[in-house]
Structure 1
């Protein structure tokens, strides 16, 4: 029986040795895996630092751009207000021009009779001057008498 006991202890010792070796191999494998994961995390951390810096720069540039756009918008607003003022001025000018046109048209209608008389008188004066010029060019006195009588007839027609 003691032999069985020694054999059992020997089997247990061998099993413990095999277990210790297996655990050792597993721990080495886990160690290499953890080292690989650690290196990968270090690389990710460095990349994340780079991304964080780029994100901060991008955010800074975005803020500058937003500020610049705000300034440009304010400047553009003043231009829009100026154009609006010009549009209002042009509209007022157009209204004034319409009023003047309407007034001139109504005055023309009111004075149409006077205008036609003035045109008729100017035609008579022109005829008289033309006849007078012809009279000076032609020595015949008879032509002169005809001119005067025609002028009188034109004046009479204009009065009617």
Structure 2
């Protein structure tokens, strides 16, 4: 029975050797995988650094653009204020012209009655004058005959 023990120990030793061999291969495989992961992480780190720098530059440019836009907007505010003032001036001028026009129109209406009366009286005087001339001419013709 002693030999059974030697055979058992030999089988255990061989099994242990196979186990160690496969564990070594597995660990080497894990080592290669971890090296690949490490390389990938380093590459990603450099890409993240590049993206961070570009994002920072983009943020600075965006801030500059926003400042420039704000400055230009402030500049345009004065133009719009001037346009508003100009519009109010035109409205005031239109009101003044309308008042003058209404005043002239009402004066013209008042004056038109006076002009109509003057024309009527002028026609009456002209009729009297023509009748007088005709009467005088008739008298002169009678005297000459």
- Structure 1 gaps of 5+ residues are 122-149, 155-160
Residues 5-84 of structure 1: matches in 2 within 5 Å?
5-84=5-84
Q: How far did 1:6 drift?
A: 1.0
2:130 is the counterpart of 1:153: yes
- Considering Cα pairs closer than 8 Å and 6+ residues apart, tell me whether 1 or 2 has the greater RCO: 1
User: What is the rounded CA distance, in whole Å, between the counterparts of 1:71 and 1:38 in structure 2?
Assistant: 49
User: What is the rounded CA distance, in whole Å, between the counterparts of 1:153 and 1:44 in structure 2?
Assistant: 119
The superposition leaves residues 22-55 of structure 1 with CA deviations (integer Å, 9 ceiling, x where unpaired) of 0000001001011111111111111111111111
Moved over 2 A (4+): 113-118
Q: How far did 1:153 drift?
A: 3.5
- Structure 2 gaps of 5+ residues are 132-145
Match of 1:92 in 2: 92
The superposition leaves residues 61-108 of structure 1 with CA deviations (integer Å, 9 ceiling, x where unpaired) of 111111111111111111111100000000000000000000001111
Q: How far did 1:12 drift?
A: 0.8
TM-score normalised to the size of structure 1? 0.72
**Helix, strand or coil at the partner of 1:111:** helix
The superposition leaves residues 84-138 of structure 1 with CA deviations (integer Å, 9 ceiling, x where unpaired) of 00000000000000000000011111112444548x98xxxxxxxxxxxxxxxxx
TM-score normalised to the size of structure 2? 0.79
